[in-house]
Amino acid sequence: MDKNQLIEGAIVIAKDAAKAIKAIYLAGQYDKEIKSDNTPVTSADLAAHKIIAEGLAKLSPDIPVLSEEDTEIPLSVRSQWQRYWLVDPLDGTQEFISRSGDFAVIIALVEKNQPAMGVVYAPMTDVCYYAVKGQGAFKRQADGQTNRINSTSFKVDKLTGLRLAVSRVQKTEFLLRHFSPDLKYDLIPLGSAALKSCLIAEGGADCYMRLGPTGEWDTGATQCIVEEAGGRIANFELQPLSYNQRESFENPNFVVIGEPNLDWQDIIKA
């Protein structure tokens, strides 16, 4: 099966998971637990996980699946994988719980430790962002209209400044400590980390900085989408993120940037 067939299959699976999440969200009744890492998981997360795991197994029986809700696979096994699906069934569980509507389904295909395909599907709007490495990034509306997307190229100066996608709950004073005080910043609040990254990919914001713990499943799909749109996801030293190379799945603090040719080393203060 070629990658164009795989990406369309993954989009259908993400849409099916999104429908289940949306139904639970609108009903307003779900179970919630706290996992060992002190993050919440709901029955919506688990329902989406089941749909995606079963759907991907049917779509591509030869490709293993690594999901945030099923991580008990040792590196000794994972390191043998040449490619695998990397999944966050519900990115933005806290946004689901707080009823902001800003959450997403994430499915990535990783090949040789780098994201090669990505799907981000927003259940409440039926908007889908997707990309295949080397083929560009796209946004598909609920009515099926599909357009290629590109991150914005521009010249930053003290007058225009940067548009920062930010969390609704994170203290902006703490965030802005990591940026040069010589620029102006316009803050754009949004929920899901994946949706903030996709906002960068389509040119709706210039930078998103993530402080605090995230997993590889949070960035796999969006890294492919952002890079195919012309942007970049990197750690604070502007080095690429790694996938399936450590026992831990935890990412470092990272930034998503729309225009990689700016002097980001002068803008970002680790």
Q: Is 74 part of any domain? A: yes
Can you give the CATH number for the domain in which 135 is found?
3.30.540.10
Please give the structure tokens belonging to residue 159: 């007058």
Q: Which of 149, 179, 207 is the last residue of a domain?
A: 149
Can you give the CATH number for the domain in which 262 is found?
3.40.190.80
Are residues 105 and 180 located together in one domain of the fold? no
Residue 158: band (very low, low, confident or very high) from pLDDT cuts 50, 70, 90: low
Closest of 137, 118, 103 to residue 243, by C-alpha: 118
Are residues 224 and 106 located together in one domain of the fold? no
Are residues 72 and 180 located together in one domain of the fold? no
Residues listed for the chain: 270
Q: Which of 85, 117, 149 is the last residue of a domain?
A: 149
Average pLDDT value over all residues in the chain: 92
Dihedral sign, Cα of residue 205, residue 207, residue 210, residue 211: negative
Range of the domain at 207: 162-267
Q: Is 123 part of any domain? A: yes
Is the pLDDT confidence value at 132 over 70?
A: yes
Q: What is the mean pLDDT of residues 222-242?
A: 94
Are residues 7 and 99 located together in one domain of the fold? yes
Residue 143, classed as helix, strand or coil, is: coil
Q: Is 157 part of any domain? A: no
Rounded percentage of the chain residues whose pLDDT exceeds 70 = 97
Q: Which helix (H) or strand (E) holds 110?
A: strand 104-111
Are residues 139 and 184 located together in one domain of the fold? no
**At 216, which amino acid appears?**
E
Confidence (pTM): 0.94
Are residues 106 and 145 located together in one domain of the fold? yes
Q: Is 196 part of any domain? A: yes
Is the pLDDT confidence value at 247 over 70?
A: yes
Is the pLDDT confidence value at 29 over 70?
A: yes
On whether the CB atoms of residues 92 and 102 are closer than 8 A, the answer is yes
How many domains, in total, are found in the chain? 2
